[in-house]
Amino acid sequence: MTAPELRDAILRHLTYSLGKDAGTATVYDWRLALSYAVRDRIVDPWFASTKAAYAKQSKRVYYLSMEFLIGRLLEDAIVNIGLLDEAGEAMNALGQDLTTVMLDEPDAALGNGGLGRLAACFLESLSTIGTPAYGYGIRYEHGLFKQSFFEGRQQEAPEEWLQQVHTWEFERPEAAFQIGFGGSVKEQGGRMLWSPDEAVVATAHDTPIIGWRGRWANTLRLWEARAVHGFDLGAFNRGDYFGAAEPEASARTISRVLYPDDTTEDGKRLRLKQEYFFTAASLRDVVRRFDSEYDDLSLLPQKVAIQLNDTHPAIAGPELVRILHDEKGMALDTAIETARGCLNYTNHTLLPEALERWSEGLMGDLLPRHMDLIRKIDEVHAKEYPARTVAMVENGDVKMGELAFTMASHVNGVSALHTELMKETVFQELHALHPERIVNQTNGVTPRRWVLSANPRLSSLVSGKIGMNWVDDLEQLKELEPLAEDSGFRGDYDTAKRSNKAELSNWFAKTHGVKLDPEAMFDVQIKRIHEYKRQHLNILEAIALWQEIHDDPNGDWTPRVKIFGGKAAPGYYFAKEIIYLINSVAEVLNNDPVTSKYLKVVYPPNYNVSLAEQLIPAADLSEQISTAGKEASGTGNMKFALNGALTIGTLDGANVEICDLVGPDNFFLFGMTEPQVVARRADPEHAANAIAADPRLARAIEAIRNGAFSGGDAERFKPIADDLSGKDYFLVCSDFTDYWRAQREVDAAYRDSDTWTRMAVLNTARSGWFSSDRTIRGYMSDVWRASSALA
């Protein structure tokens, strides 16, 4: 398609799809018109892909995930169909700026963090590779809350992405399933029959996901909950206007919000309903598609691979057994085997508080037949493995990890270290019984979004040297390695980074009124706020550095801007205290006439996918400082390394693999290893000892305690100071001294700009393995036994 053809297509949509005239069209109108014109180019390859998968009788991959953190889709689509230049020209010809129009798109935040973003990267890679696949999830009316700060504290407001027309989806009223809850189970003619006493309708909304070079497109199918009988006319005519609309409002609650607060009984019930709602609708769709092609259910595992993204869809085990056994009449043992043949499970965390458990009472009340089947599955397993001691139901709770594991062909970890720890900790016994089941698939990220689109300057520099094929095969970045010794290339690489930093500084000035010096080191920590991720270690180091600069204001300090980004779960008290502390420290440091030229702290609110796309290409230093053993993998760490930010990090999650690949000389490693963490924690005096041994640490904590960041109010940050000097479960104090040492090495390295750039180039050149294309190929060969449908 040429630019003039695209321009005409945009004008046609503006006129005939939107009923707008070019003279009065707003940026929103132009964005919609452009999106429709681009979408038109995706529909044909999408149909062709669907038909090819049927014609080839391909095995299909079904990725079940409560979260898809897709962000904006317009640029992805334009880039993947190769129309970026044409779109720029076409918009110019129409008197519009492409970037402005693309930035008008709301950021679809149907996820919390890494787990949801991983699902989005996987969808893009599946389409790029040409694997016939569907993503299945929930079409939340409200995605992750919008974060703002009021006097330094996090405020939450509802996210409203669907207030605008969502241009990428197609509603499929014909693809709808009734999903039941509650009721009872009776025997009828030798079969168990579940009669729910409540039902909602799941309606499908399809979004095509186009792969790189536009060769293949898969579907993201998101379910919306609707009432079976939407409107009670009788009630309305009796004057009960609210009552008349109640069935619809109540059904829609299920797809209303991402991750409802589950600290109350009602919240727990709603969350479990959401899980069953989307899992059941997806499985019915899978079985319907299978039935339309084959008439032998024993073929199911050959034709269907289902990936459970964490335990949120783990009810898929009993649900598939219910369909096969209760509905299709398969013998129970065979049904369990067949279901297991299709199912696989990815674990994303070892934190005990994050492992899902549902009370037997709630499960039995909401899903009585599933509760029976869970007990049956456990019995069958126990009979087969009499040595087993860990039961699926413990102290009145159903353990979803055990259920998912027992019903899966493969269980995977998301980094090498995490996978080994899974074997040693949460799944120790199950692993001993099923030593082949746990496999590793280290996470990856899509290079189309995270390098090509997000960092055009670096991308064109790379393509100018090694051609464009790195976008298809990221390990080709290795060819850049010799260029690390080429001063001309290093100069260009440095220029690209500086330009990204200057652009970010301008954005900060415009949107937040802060001036950042692009010559300063941009030190970035962006991720959910969590104690194990240790944003408080980072801010503690900032405090200690601020104090040290005050001691020697004429010293030779390396200017730095610490950039934080991330949201805290609304009910996570301590994480919110950390946010408050960071903002309060920022207030003091940024207004300090002595130190602020050397050290600033900024925390733009509402960190999301789009902000990550801006921050990562401009980062010099990537903070990956979790307590060893706690971060399952990380994916931000990979995005930073690819974009030439050096990592300061612990031996945790995929940091281990990053450090291995880029080389320890190009990575600022610090802190205890996982076994050292376990040993240190056993000493109840660990924090006190660490503080006694490091006066710098003692002084920084003392400043928090005595009100230096709270206008003298010693009460305000007492909980943080007390935690640090008391329990300090995540060992901030014990790792502080080595973190400080590593940070000073960072300072020294940054002052030698040429050496720094050399290290950065090597990070880019050696991080190609972290493409999600590689990860998906790993799942295809080791887990799904699926292949690409592209010849």
Site string for ligand F58, 735-764 (x = CB under 6 A): ------------------------------
Residue with tokens 């016994």: 429
At its nearest, how many Å lie between ligand F58 and the CB of residue 71?
A: 15
348 is catalytic: yes
Q: Report, in Å, the least distance between residue 773 CB and ligand F58.
A: 16
42 or 115, CB closer to ligand F58?
115
Using the minimum distance from each CB to ligand F58, give the nearer residue, 66 or 521: 66
Residue type, 161: W
Residue 86 vs 631, nearer CB to ligand F58 = 631
**Cβ neighbours for 385, distance < 8 A, ≥ 6 positions apart:** 433
Residue (599 or 656) nearer to ligand F58, CB? 656
Q: Give 508-528 as a DSSP string.
A: HHHHH-----TTSEEEEEES-
Q: How many CB atoms lie within 10 A of CB 265?
A: 11
Q: Which stretch binds ligand F58 (CB under 6 A): 57-65, 75-83, 427-435, 627-635?
A: 627-635
Q: Which of 419, 635, 650, 757 is catalytic?
A: 635
Taking the least distance from each CB to ligand F58, the nearer of 221 and 533 is 533
Does 142 contact ligand F58 by CB under 6 A?
no
Catalytic position from the list 39, 370, 527, 758: 527
Tell which one of 80, 207, 442, 635 touches ligand F58 (CB under 6 A).
635
Number of residues that bind ligand F58 (CB under 6 A): 16
DSSP character at residue 626: P
Minimum distance between the CB of residue 505 and ligand F58, rounded to whole angstroms? 29
Kindly give, in sequence order, each residue whose CB lies less than 8 Å from that of residue 300, ignoring residues fewer than 6 positions away: 290, 338, 341, 342
Q: Which of 39, 348, 410, 686 binds ligand F58 (CB under 6 A)?
A: 348
CB of 705 to ligand F58, least distance (A): 31
If one asks whether residue 311 binds ligand F58 (CB under 6 A), the answer comes out as no
Shortest distance, position 68 Cβ to ligand F58, whole Å: 12
Q: Which is nearer to ligand F58, 271 or 340 (CB)?
A: 271
The length of the chain is: 791
How many separate helices (H) and strands (E) can be counted in the chain?
Answer: 32, 24
When computed from its CA atoms, the radius of gyration of the chain, rounded to whole angstroms, is: 27
Among residues 635, 766, 772, the alpha carbon closest in space to that of 128 is found at 772
Which residue in the list 312, 340, 536, 639 is annotated as catalytic?
639
d(C-alpha 543, C-alpha 241), whole Å:
58
Task: Give the residue, chosen from 45, 71, 113, 671, that forms a contact with ligand F58 under the rule CB under 6 A.
Answer: 113
Least Å distance, CB 291 to ligand F58, is 32
Pure H helices in 624-767: 636-642, 655-662, 674-681, 686-693, 695-705, 718-725, 732-751, 753-766
Q: Which residue's Cβ lies closest to ligand F58?
A: 114
Q: How far is residue 628 CA from its own chain's centroid?
A: 20
CA distance 278 to 276: 6
Of 551-590, binders to ligand F58 (CB under 6 A) are none
Which residue's CB is nearer to ligand F58, number 652 or number 694?
652
Q: Should residue 114 be labelled a site residue for ligand F58 when binding is judged by CB under 6 A? A: yes
Nearest distance, CB of residue 701 and ligand F58, angstroms? 27
Confirm or reject binding of residue 639 to ligand F58 (CB under 6 A): no
Q: Does the annotation count 131 as an active-site position? A: no
Instruction: Tally Cβ neighbours within 10 Å of residue 16.
Output: 11
Question: Which position among 268, 388, 528, 718 bears the catalytic label?
Answer: 528
Which amino acid does the sequence have at 35?
S
Q: Which residues have C-beta within 8 Å of that of residue 60, sequence separation ≥ 6?
A: 53, 132, 133, 134, 286, 289, 303, 304, 305, 786
**Distance between CA atoms of 519 and 759, rounded to whole angstroms?**
18
Nearer to ligand F58, 167 or 775 (CB): 775
Which of 168, 769 has the CB closer to ligand F58?
769
Residues in 375-434 that interact with ligand F58 by CB under 6 A: 414
Contact call for residue 349 and ligand F58 (CB under 6 A)? yes
Task: Give the list of residues 6+ apart from residue 547 with CB closer than 8 angstroms, or none.
Answer: 696, 699, 700, 703
Angle of CA points 623, 628, 632, to nearest 5°: 80
Interface residue with ligand F58, options 42, 118, 287, 581 (CB under 6 A)? 118
Distance CA 129, CA 790 (A): 8
Q: Give the whole-angstrom CA distance, residue 761 versus residue 656.
A: 19
Burial class (CB in 10 A: 0-12, 13-18, 19+), 603: buried
| Given 311, 442, 633, 767, the residue binding ligand F58 (CB under 6 A) | 633
Q: Which part of the chain contacts ligand F58 (CB under 6 A), choosing from 150-158, 378-386, 448-456, 626-634?
A: 626-634
Note if 635 is an active site residue. Answer: yes
Report the distance separating Cα 451 and Cα 588, nearest Å: 35
Among the listed residues 218, 311, 443, 608, the single contact to ligand F58 using CB under 6 A: 443
Q: Binding marks (x or -) toward ligand F58, 58..97, rule CB under 6 A?
A: ----------------------------------------
Considering the complex, what minimum distance in angstroms separates the CB of residue 111 from ligand F58?
Answer: 7
Minimum CB distance to ligand F58 smaller for 128 or for 624: 624
Distance from C-alpha of 253 to C-alpha of 140, rounded to nearest angstrom: 10
Among 541, 631, 723, 773, binds ligand F58 (CB under 6 A): 631
Please, which residue, 226 or 567, has the CB nearer to ligand F58? 567
The residue to which tokens 């319907």 are assigned: 288
Q: Is the Cβ of residue 256 or residue 465 nearer to ligand F58 in the bound state?
A: 256
Please, which residue, 633 or 743, has the CB nearer to ligand F58?
633
> How far apart, in whole angstroms, are the C-alpha atoms of residue 636 and residue 114?
8
527 is catalytic: yes
Q: Which stretch binds ligand F58 (CB under 6 A): 111-119, 127-135, 154-162, 617-625?
A: 111-119
Classify the C-alpha dihedral 114-116-122-127 as positive or negative. Answer: negative
**Is 721 in contact with 701 (CB distance < 8 Å)?**
yes
Q: Quote the least distance from Cβ 527 to ligand F58, whole Å.
A: 8
User: Residue 238: which residues within 8 A CB-CB, separation 6 or more?
Assistant: none
Query: Which of 623, 138, 193 has its CA nearest to residue 368?
Result: 193
Show the binding pattern over residues 472-501: x = contacts ligand F58 (CB under 6 A), - = does not. Answer: ------------------------------
399 forms beta bridges with 357
| Binding range to ligand F58, per CB under 6 A, among 155-163, 167-175, 462-470, 633-641 | 633-641
**Is 259 among the residues that bind ligand F58 (CB under 6 A)?**
yes
Q: What SS3 class is residue 180? A: strand
Q: Which residue of 132, 653, 671, 768 would you call a contact of ligand F58, by CB under 6 A?
A: 653
CB 262 within 8 A of CB 271: yes
Clarify whether 639 is annotated catalytic. yes
Stretch 269-288: interaction string toward ligand F58, x if CB under 6 A: --------------------
632 near ligand F58, rule: CB under 6 A = yes
Nearest to 664, CA basis, from 772, 768, 774, 762: 762
DSSP class of 328: T
Can you give the binding site for ligand F58, defined by CB under 6 A? 112-115, 118, 259, 348-349, 414, 443, 631-635, 653
Residues with a known catalytic role: 348, 527-528, 533, 635, 639
